[in-house]
Amino acid sequence: KARVERSLMRKLKIAAFMPHPDDTEILVGGTLLKYKAQGHDVHVVIAMDGRRGRGHLPDSVSWQEIVAIRHEEARRACAILGVEPIFLDIEDHRLLDDRDCYEKVITAMESLNPDVVFTCAPNDYHNDHRCLSRLVLNSAWAPVFFAETSCGVDFNPDFYVDITEFIETKIEMARQHQSQFTEDPKETIEIVNRFRALQCRRKEIRYAECFKLYKRFEWVKAYELLPHDDYELPEKIVPTTERN
């Protein structure tokens, strides 16, 4: 109880900038659920419109219908988290490090003015993931944490978040993306998050998500902002709108 009360002394604004509908749940779902449970303000930004994420939908379904389906699935998943997603609606596979895309990302960043940002790793498997990572880094003044790559390929974490308490809810969030999964995502999520928990070497941690911090001036100790029960929140938080 004392640890939760300590977390509530300073309410953080958390923003997850993720490329496609379903990336949020798979990569950072447990961590966002933990932040929410500790009373922090959580936001989800989805950059792409999902039109090329046909999954197992038949060819007769138009891309406009796919976008509507992916939006609705994202809303259902985020409703479990207790938030309404923000859609930037950039066309799938067309995210570029250009002025138009940058304006959409930085406008959302400035509007939210988060204390902590999560996004994809800069070496992830998909161009949309890699490009969004760069755009977020270039628009965020707050500390940025990279979620692990798909199945952890070429990703060596710096920090771990115990999500044991939230694993079933995370799986339920992922299951809302029914158009994407031909099989239940439960096994994949459990395997990846169980493996990361084993790296923590603590019996009480059964499932964990892992991250790398983008280290830069003023944020070399930003790991204190992760939802770890034993950390006191730092005194100084520099909002996005105060960047030079």
pTM attached to this predicted model? 0.89
Is 224's pLDDT higher than 90?
A: no
Share of the chain above pLDDT 70, in %: 90
131: CB partners within 8 A, 6+ apart = 95, 96, 97, 101
Residue with more model confidence, 92 or 33: 33
pLDDT value of position 237:
61
**Burial bucket for residue 132 (CB in 10 Å: 0-12, 13-18, 19+):** buried
pLDDT at 106: 97
Supply the pLDDT for residue 9. Answer: 57
Core vs surface per residue 59-86: b (16+ CB within 10 A) or e: eeeeeeebbebbbebbeebbebbebebb
39-55, pLDDT tens digit by residue?
A: 999 999 999 988 887 77
